[in-house]
Structure 1
Amino acid sequence: MNNALSRRKVLGGIAATVVGWSVANQSWATAAEVDAGHRIDVRQVPALDGTLTTSATDLDRFRQDFGRLKPSAPWAVLRPGSDQDIVKMVNYARTNKLKIAVNGQGGTGDDMESHSVYGQAAVPQGGISIDARAMSKILSINSTNAVVEAGVTWGQLTDAALKVGKTPPALPDYLHLSIGGTVSIGGIGGTVQKFGLLADTVHSMDVVTGTGELVTVSASARPDLFHSILSGGGQTAIILRAKVKLAPAPQRSVVFSLFYDDLATYLADGEKVMAENRFHIQAGEMLRRADDTGWRYKMEVAANYSGTAVPDRAALLAGLRDNRAQAVIEDVAYRDYMFRLDGYEVYLKETGHWYQPKPWLSLFLPASKTKAFMQMVEQELTVGDLGGGFLLFYPYYTGKITRPLAVQPNESVGYLFDLLRFPDPGDPNISQMLEQNRRLYDKAVALGAKRYLVGAIPRMTQADWRTHFGYRWEELCRAKRRYDPANILTPGQGFFG
Structure 2
Amino acid sequence: MSKSALPRRSVIVGAAATVIGWNTVGRSWAVEAPAGAPEAPADAADDALAALPPLDGTLVADAETLARFGGDFGHLVTAAPRAVLHPGSVNDVAALTAFARRHRIPVAMNGQSGTGGPAELESHSSYGQATARGGVAIDSRGLNRILRIAHGRAVVEAGVTWAQLTDTALAQGWLPPSLTDYLHLSVGGTLAVGGIGGGVQRHGFQVDTVESVDVVTGTGELVTASASANRELFDAVLGGGGQAGLIVRATLRLEPARERALVLSLFYDDLADYLADHEKLMLERRFDLHVGDVARNAAGTGWKYKVEGVVHYDGTAAPDREALVRGLRCLPAETTFLDQTAREYAFRVDAFAGYLQAAGLWSQPKPWMSLFLPASTTEAFMREAVALLTPEDLGAGLLLFYPFRTDVITRPMTVMPDELVGFHFDLLSFPFPGADHAAALRRNRRLYDLAVSLGGKRYLIGAIPDVTRAEWRRHYGARWGRAVAAKHRFDPAGILTPGQGIHS
SS at match of 2:362: helix
TM-score by length of 1: 0.96
TM-score by length of 2: 0.95
Seen in structure 2, the aligned counterparts of structure 1 residues 212 and 256 have a Cα distance that, compared at 3 Å, is: same
CA distance in 2 between counterparts of 1:15 and 1:397 reads: 51
CA distance in 1 between counterparts of 2:171 and 2:466 reads: 46
Mean alpha-carbon deviation: is it higher for 347-356 or for 369-378? 347-356
User: Counterpart of 1:445?
Assistant: 452
Task: Please give the residue correspondences for 1:270-281 in structure 2 after superposition, counting only pairs within 5 Å.
Answer: 270-281=278-289
User: Counterpart of 2:126?
Assistant: 117
Pairing partner for 2:170 from 144, 162, 165 = 162
SS at match of 2:267: strand
AA in 2 matched with 1:29: A
AA in 1 matched with 2:475: H
Please report how far the alpha carbon of residue 60 of structure 1 lies from its aligned counterpart in structure 2 after TM superposition.
Answer: 3.4
CA distance in 1 between counterparts of 2:272 and 2:81 reads: 50
User: Counterpart of 1:471?
Assistant: 478
User: Counterpart of 2:19?
Assistant: 18
SS at match of 1:395: strand
1:211 aligns with 2:212: no
1:496 aligns with 2:499: no
AA in 2 matched with 1:202: V
The answer to whether the 8 A contact 1:352-1:425 is kept is no
The answer to whether the 8 A contact 1:254-1:331 is kept is yes
CA distance in 2 between counterparts of 1:124 and 1:47 reads: 24
User: Counterpart of 2:102?
Assistant: 95
The answer to whether the 8 A contact 2:128-2:500 is kept is yes
The answer to whether the 8 A contact 1:389-1:420 is kept is yes
User: Counterpart of 1:37?
Assistant: 40
Mean alpha-carbon deviation: is it higher for 21-30 or for 439-448? 21-30
The answer to whether the 8 A contact 2:9-2:33 is kept is no
SS at match of 1:102: strand
User: Counterpart of 1:335?
Assistant: 343
Seen in structure 2, the aligned counterparts of structure 1 residues 344 and 221 have a Cα distance that, compared at 3 Å, is: same
Cα deviation, 1:94-125, whole Å, max 9, x if unaligned, reads: 11110001000110022211000000000112
Please report how far the alpha carbon of residue 81 of structure 1 lies from its aligned counterpart in structure 2 after TM superposition.
Answer: 1.6
CA distance in 2 between counterparts of 1:133 and 1:435 reads: 34
SS at match of 1:265: helix
CA distance in 1 between counterparts of 2:107 and 2:22 reads: 14
Aligned length: 493
Please report how far the alpha carbon of residue 4 of structure 1 lies from its aligned counterpart in structure 2 after TM superposition.
Answer: 7.9
SS at match of 1:240: strand
Task: Please give the residue correspondences for 1:87-486 in structure 2 after superposition, counting only pairs within 5 Å.
Answer: 87-110=94-117, 111-125=120-134, 127-427=135-435, 429-486=436-493
The answer to whether the 8 A contact 1:3-1:44 is kept is no
The answer to whether the 8 A contact 1:235-1:490 is kept is yes
Mean alpha-carbon deviation: is it higher for 104-113 or for 193-202? 104-113
The answer to whether the 8 A contact 1:143-1:247 is kept is no
Which 5+ residue runs of structure 1 have no aligned equivalent?
none
SS at match of 1:363: strand
Seen in structure 2, the aligned counterparts of structure 1 residues 15 and 410 have a Cα distance that, compared at 3 Å, is: closer
SS at match of 1:299: strand
AA in 2 matched with 1:149: E
User: Counterpart of 1:75?
Assistant: 82
SS at match of 2:220: coil
Please report how far the alpha carbon of residue 206 of structure 1 lies from its aligned counterpart in structure 2 after TM superposition.
Answer: 1.1
The answer to whether the 8 A contact 2:9-2:40 is kept is no
What RMSD over aligned residues (CA atoms) do the two structures have, in Å?
Answer: 1.7
Please report how far the alpha carbon of residue 15 of structure 1 lies from its aligned counterpart in structure 2 after TM superposition.
Answer: 5.5
SS at match of 2:64: helix
The answer to whether the 8 A contact 2:145-2:160 is kept is yes
